[in-house]
Structure 1
Amino acid sequence: MTYTALCLNCISQTVLLLLAANGAPVLARHWLKDRFSLPVDMGLKLGDGRALFGSSKTWRGIIASINLTSLVAMVLGMSALEGAVFSLAAMSGDLLASFIKRRQGHAESSRVRCIDTIPESIMPALVLHEQLGLSVTDILAVAFTFFLLDVFLSPVLYRLHIKNRPY
């Protein structure tokens, strides 16, 4: 059995990009309130009577995510395009999580721990694993680290009145 050393720098950069990609929509909502909050699904309900994604998934959040993640990527020595692709993959994972939660009957903005963090952390890491220098082990470490950060940072952001819920 071969041991694969973790690339801590690769993991750290990926986690920073994840924080930018997933934090930008939260900050945009905090600063802009309801302005420009056009839902991605435009209010579409599927045959099960539930929203496709829900009203909390907005174009404002996606645009904020692309912009901030592109800036962070450039600071980290990557291209703005790589940052934008990373953001789009993270937001796709977030939308997938919302889609799954709606199909399971969970209320909008409800917390389902693994569904909330795994797709949005794994998808961008998989899409840009070569550019980020990530191995499979690194990607698992990224997902675990992002999960832990979500657990510990969410209540802090709630107390600072940045997030609407402590989870």
Structure 2
Amino acid sequence: MHPILIVELLVLVGVANALPVIAKKIMGTAGAWPLDGAITLRDGRPLFGHSKTIRGVLIALLGTPVVAILMGLGWKLGFLVAASAMAGDLLSSFIKRRLALPPSSQARGLDQVPESLFPLIAARCLVPLSWLDVVVGTAIFAVAGLVVSRILFRLNLRDRPY
């Protein structure tokens, strides 16, 4: 197992997921265009929902590589982690819309697993991560995500405690 590498990657996953939330707090609705263009699918629900924005994805894709460089991990790993974390988050949103859950609603597991599992699997292309590392890292992120979310809510950085 590679515990230090797991922690470093989870920091990057956390950064990728936190940057859009921080941007929303700082910028409000400025530049918050819906990533799905506000289209509605045949089921009458949006593709992703209004909370998934072009600004959020761009800020994650630009900011996470910078943090990765500062951590000595390289921009490629930072970009890969950000892109795959955003893909996992979008998949979660897509599934939640199909289940008729409103944007920003809580779906334990679905909110944490894809956005950590995808980056950890993708990172295996660039770093020596085992499948056990991926499973352990995903489990840690799922639990830590619930705890950190509550802390961010109390700090008024999140709108909801989940």
Counterpart of 2:75, as a letter, is: A
Aligned counterpart for 1:117 among listed residues 105, 112, 115? 112
3-state SS, counterpart of residue 85 of structure 1: helix
Aligned counterpart for 1:86 among listed residues 81, 84, 89? 81
Runs of 4+ with >6 A deviation: none
Q: Which residue of 2 aligns with 1:44?
A: 39
Q: Is 1:101 the counterpart of 2:96 in the alignment?
A: yes
Aligned residues of 1:14 and 1:132 also touching (Cα < 8 A): no
Distance (Å, rounded) in 2 between the aligned partners of 1:110 and 1:31: 21
Aligned counterpart for 2:63 among listed residues 59, 68, 93? 68
TM-superposed CA distance for 1:77, in Å, is 2.0
Q: Which residue of 2 aligns with 1:137?
A: 132
Distance (Å, rounded) in 1 between the aligned partners of 2:7 and 2:127: 10
Distance (Å, rounded) in 1 between the aligned partners of 2:119 and 2:101: 25
Residues 14-52 of structure 1 deviation map (CA, whole Å, 9 limit, x = unaligned): 111111110111111011111110010010100000000
Q: Which residue of 1 aligns with 2:49?
A: 54
Distance (Å, rounded) in 2 between the aligned partners of 1:24 and 1:76: 16
Q: Which residue of 1 aligns with 2:23?
A: 28
TM-superposed CA distance for 1:155, in Å, is 1.1
TM-superposed CA distance for 1:129, in Å, is 1.2
Distance (Å, rounded) in 2 between the aligned partners of 1:81 and 1:150: 24
TM-superposed CA distance for 1:62, in Å, is 0.7
Distance (Å, rounded) in 2 between the aligned partners of 1:10 and 1:131: 12
TM score, norm. by length of structure 1: 0.93
Distance (Å, rounded) in 2 between the aligned partners of 1:12 and 1:82: 14
TM-superposed CA distance for 1:104, in Å, is 1.0
The number of residues matched between the two structures is 162
TM-superposed CA distance for 1:124, in Å, is 1.1
3-state SS, counterpart of residue 132 of structure 1: coil
TM score, norm. by length of structure 2: 0.96
Q: Which residue of 2 aligns with 1:3?
A: none
Distance (Å, rounded) in 2 between the aligned partners of 1:132 and 1:73: 13
Q: Is 1:127 the counterpart of 2:118 in the alignment?
A: no
Aligned residues of 1:89 and 1:127 also touching (Cα < 8 A): yes
Distance (Å, rounded) in 2 between the aligned partners of 1:82 and 1:89: 11
TM-superposed CA distance for 1:79, in Å, is 2.3
| Structure 2: 5+ residue stretches without partners | none
